[in-house]
Structure 1
Amino acid sequence: MDPLKCNAAVAVVGAGAMGAGIAQVVAQAGHPVRLLDQSPGAAARAVATIDQRLARQVAKGRLDEASRQAIHGRLQPVEHLHELRDSALVIEAIAENLAAKQQLFAELEALCTDDCILASNTSSLSITALAAGLRRPQRLLGLHFFNPAPLMALVEVVPGLASDPGIVQCLHQTLLDWGKQPVRARSTPGFIVNRVARPFYGESLRLLQEGAADCATLDALLREAGGFAMGTFELTDLIGQDINDRVTCSIYEAYYADPRFQPSLIQQELVAAGHLGRKSGQGFYSYAEGAQRPPIQQLHSNAKISDCVLEGDLAWAMPLVQRLEQRGIQVLRRDGPGLLRVGDAVLVPSDGRLASQRARDSGQGNLVLLDLAADYQQATRLAISCNAGIQPHALDQAVALLQQAGLQVSRLSDTPALAVLRTVAMLANEAADALLQGVASAADIDLAMRLGVNYPLGPLAWAERLGLGHLLQVLENLQGAYGEDRYRPSLLLRRRVAEGRNLHD
């Protein structure tokens, strides 16, 4: 099917932040838009807010006044459902309640013509379930926009079991005409982004619960080493602890209590206390006037290091060696098992084992494990962990070496796979399982995670950069350390390692 014609009327039901944002997108694309909300006056207030946003764009020179007026003229707030009867497309953006959405779609089906397309902006509910009670379920599918809709390019296009492929193609092409980047996803809990992103939240929450480090330090590591735009705790404070917890609980329940999606007791306690983040003034951090962030925990050394010894290959951490050399550290190379020696310290990239276990296995008494960095040339911070009983002077030598490379060093307790490596490994593992289960293509999974949540790399591409064999080893060691099914490696990952193929093949 062809995309919707530009003069086709589009209705949006729900004038909250998402509904108003979607209405703005559609009006900017040239469609007449009718905006409806059950709360009297809400649609008119939303249109006024949209106009204020557009006026700011004019003031900044990003939009001309004639365009602003044209867009505003295409936005019509309405108060009654029957005013949507001649719409070519109706996009539902009401609260995440299955029964309420089903009732709305039943009313729309009775009201609108048979060729009207129905779409839901649900972020996690089953499209198949939403359409199940309709006379013509084939005309309903999911269009999951991301907030703020006018700025975020990604839209997940989610057909249910009954959705007409022609309608799916029509809306895919329509979204391209609207300047959006559509990705296809099966109607499974969380679709792509909300499912694959769960480990980003879950692993930091678990590290906090285990006392591996504090919020500020873990957030700094994900930003300054992992390359993520925000750390877990500042991001969930922005999203709202109640919203983030509700999505996690929904996916956990939908997957029949799979431990990979287990909610956090710490987050649930915040919600119970009303500490919801920025909107309540208190979450993991305080947002009271004048409140300051807690300090980031880091080590410091006054020692000066002139050289170190590289034995073998450090695998994905080899760019760190290049950075050392660029900073004037002489690196002596010789054969070996893949480690750096500086004084009495031995530095190795984490493979998911505890530092103390690895020291015992290798016979190395002063072992320092290195966390992952998205880009060792650009990172400003790196996490380390050490075996129990490491000599203080050896730890100081390791810290001095990393400092001279221009890195701040944050020490975690002896925890499997540290912070960034653990997070990336679990994101990649979840993405691999989504690929295995046919939720989306490898390209769409990576694109969705880059555009939808601003990850520096798609998780599948990141897995291939690390090496699938290394990633599998990290996950197996994580699972061995915890003895939990939460860390089970994806069958697809095992299969591709056995085949010698990548995830995008």
Structure 2
Amino acid sequence: MTALSTTARIAVIGAGAMGAGIAQVAAQAGHPVLLLDNRPGAAAKAIDGIDRQLGKRVEKGKLSADARRVTVARLQAVESIEDLAGCALIIEAIVENLEVKRALFRQLESICNEQCILASNTSSLSITSIAAQLERPQRLLGLHFFNPAPVMALVEIVSGLASDPALADCLYATAKAWGKKPVHTRSTPGFIVNRVARPFYAESLRLLQENVADCATLDALMRDAGGFAMGAFELTDLIGHDVNYAVTCSVFDAYYGDNRFQPSLIQKDLGDAGRLGRKSGHGFYSYADGAERAQARTTSSERTVATCVVEGDLGIANVLVPRLREHSIEVISRDGQGLLRVGDAVLALSDGRMACQRAKEDGLCNLILLDLAFDYGTANRLAISCAAGIDPDALEDGVALLQQAGFSVSLLSDSPALAVLRTVAMLANEAADALLQGVASAADIDLAMRAGVNYPAGPLTWADTIGLVHILRVLENLHASYGEARYRPSLLLRRRVAEGSRFHD
């Protein structure tokens, strides 16, 4: 089905930040747009705000004055829901309350013609449930934008149980015509992004709870090693702990208490204390004037390394070899089980076991485990862990090797799968379950996580790159360490490993 014509009138109900942003997107794409809010004067005020924002873009040379004028001219504030009768698409962006949304759409159904598409921007409520009381539930779908709507590329096209697939295709084409990156998803709790992203927050929160590292160090590792735009603590401070915690609770409750989505007591405490993040001036970090920003902890060495030995295949960490040579370190290669030796230290990519456990089980003295990096060739920070009884000289040799190769080294307490590897494995596992359950395609899941939350790679593609055998091993070892269903590997992951295939084959 083709996109809606730019002559089609669009309506947006709710003139808050999200509703105003959606109205701006539609107007910039060429549609006449009606904006309605139940607060007197709010719609007109929102349009004035859009005009000012576009004016700033004009001042910066990012938008022509004529484009600003034309866009604003397409926006019209209305005061009555009856004014929306002739619209081709009506998008609701009001309070996240099921009964309020149901009542609104029942009212719209009585006003609008049968060809009008009804859409909700809900981020957490079931489209199936919202539509259930309509006479024609097939006309209601989810059109989930991300904040700020004019900037964020992703739009989730959400189909409920009764939603017309042709209308979903129409909204997909329309969002694409608006310059967005749309994805199709079924109406399941959290849709794609708010479901698959839960481990990104949850694993950092658990590592903090277990005193593996502090907030600043874990955030730096997610950015500087993992390639994420922000770490979990600075991101939740930005989102607001009330909002992020509520979404986690919503997904947790919707999945009947599945502990994969269990909320964090640490985040609850922040909310209870009113430390909501940037908007309150304090969250994991302080945002008061003059507050000093916490710095990541770095372990350093004064030693110089001349030679190291690589035994066998280091897997995804093989990129370390040319990097070591580029930093004037002689690398001697020989057969072996995927180890890197320097002095008395033995370095290995984590397989999900604790260093103390792996050293004992594999008979490796002075073992140092390496965390995952998105790109070992360009990352500027890397986490390591080791058993408590490691020889201090061996630890310093390992740190010196990595430091000389250009890494800032963060030593974590001995914990299964360290930080980045644990997080990426869990993201891939959740994405695999979403794929298994038909929530979305592999391509749409990966696109959603790149475009919606700026991940450096889609979790399924990332897992393919690391190797599904290794991801499964990490999850199995996490599961064995904790004994919790939270870390159970997805059935689809197990199937793909047994088949010798990948997620994107």
The more displaced of 216-225 and 175-184 is: 175-184
Aligned to 2:3: 3
2:182 counterpart of 1:186: no
Q: What is residue 421 of structure 2 aligned with on the other side?
A: 421
Q: Distance in 2 between matches of 1:168 and 1:397?
A: 58
Task: Tell me what 1:440 maps to.
Answer: 440
Residues 296-317 of structure 1, C-alpha deviation per residue, up to 9 Å, x if partnerless?
1110100111001111111111
User: In structure 2, how many angstroms separate the alpha carbons of the residues matched to 1:170 and 1:299?
Assistant: 55
What RMSD in Å do the two structures reach over aligned CA positions? Answer: 0.8
Query: What's the CA shift for 1:3?
Result: 2.0
Offset, 1:365: 2.2
* Cα shift at 1:326: 1.2
Shift of 1:155: 0.5
Distance 1:19 1:484 in 2: 41
Aligned to 1:502: 502
Range with bigger deviation, 218-227 or 177-186: 177-186
Q: Which residue in 2 is equivalent to 1:87? A: 87
1:59 is matched with which residue? Answer: 59
Give the 5 Å matches for 1:191-230: 191-230=191-230
SS in 1 for 2:375: coil
Match of 1:142 in 2: 142
Equivalence for 2:42: 42
In 2, distance between residues paired with 1:472 and 1:165?
Answer: 35
Q: Which residue of 2 aligns with 1:133?
A: 133
Deviation digits for residues 392-429 of structure 1 (CA, Å, limit 9, x no counterpart)? 11111100000000000001100000000000000000
User: How big is each residue's C-alpha offset from its partner over 1:178-222, in whole Å with a ceiling of 9 and x where there is no partner?
Assistant: 111110001100111110000000000000000000000000000
* 2:287 matched residue in structure 1: 287
Aligned to 2:278: 278
Q: Secondary structure at the match of 1:369?
A: strand
**Equivalent residue for 1:98?**
98
User: Could you say what secondary structure the match of 2:448 adopts?
Assistant: helix
Distance 1:176 1:294 in 2: 41
Structure 1 residue 389 corresponds to structure 2 residue 389 = yes
Deviation larger for 77-86 or 113-122: 77-86
| Partner residue, 1:302 | 302
4+ long deviations beyond 4 Å: none
Aligned counterparts of 1:12 and 1:400: Cα–Cα separation in 2 = 58
Q: Which amino acid aligns with 2:122?
A: T
Are 2:259 and 1:259 equivalent residues in the alignment? yes
2-side partners of 1:2 and 1:402: how far apart? Answer: 54
Task: Note the C-alpha offset of 1:382.
Answer: 0.3
1:365 alignment partner in structure 2: 365
Deviations 1:332-369 (A, max 9, x none): 11111110111111100000001000011122221100
CA distance in 1, matches of 2:309, 2:16: 59
Give the structure 2 partner of residue 322 of structure 1.
322
SS, match of residue 12 in structure 2: strand
Residue 22 of structure 2 corresponds to 22
Query: How does the TM-score come out when normalised to structure 1?
Result: 0.99
**Cα distance in 1, alignment partners of residues 379 and 324 from structure 2:** 13
Secondary structure at the counterpart of residue 185 of structure 1:
strand
Alpha-carbon deviation of 1:295?
Answer: 2.2
SS of residue matched to 1:76: strand
**Identity rate of aligned residues, in percent?**
68
The two structures have a TM-score, normalised by structure 2, of 0.99
Q: Distance in 2 between matches of 1:340 and 1:173?
A: 51
What is the deviation of 1:100? 1.0
> Is the partner of 1:135 in helix, strand or coil?
coil
Partner SS for 1:2: coil
Which amino acid in 1 is paired with 2:61? G
Q: Give the Cα separation in 2 of the matches to 1:490 and 1:434.
A: 9
Shift of 1:83: 1.5
The offset of 1:328, in angstroms, is 0.9
Amino acid at match of 1:62: K
State the Cα distance separating 1:85 from its structure 2 match: 1.6
Distance 1:172 1:312 in 2: 48
Paired residue type of 1:453 = V
Unmatched 5+ residue regions in structure 1? none
SS at match of 1:156: strand
Secondary structure class of the residue paired with 1:5: coil
What SS class does the counterpart of residue 213 from structure 2 fall into?
coil
Structure 2 letter corresponding to 1:257: G
**TM-superposed deviation, 1:57:** 1.3
Deviates more, 1:366-375 or 1:314-323: 314-323
2-structure distance, mates of 1:386, 1:258? 32
Instruction: Provide the C-alpha distance between the structure 1 equivalents of 2:342 and 2:2, rounded to a whole number of angstroms.
Output: 65
Task: Give the Cα–Cα distance (whole angstroms) in 2 for the partners of residues 338 and 5 of structure 1.
Answer: 58
Amino acid at match of 2:261: F
Is 1:492 matched with 2:492?
yes
The CA deviation at 1:2 is 3.0
1:33 paired residue number: 33
How far is the alpha carbon of 1:460 from its aligned partner?
0.3
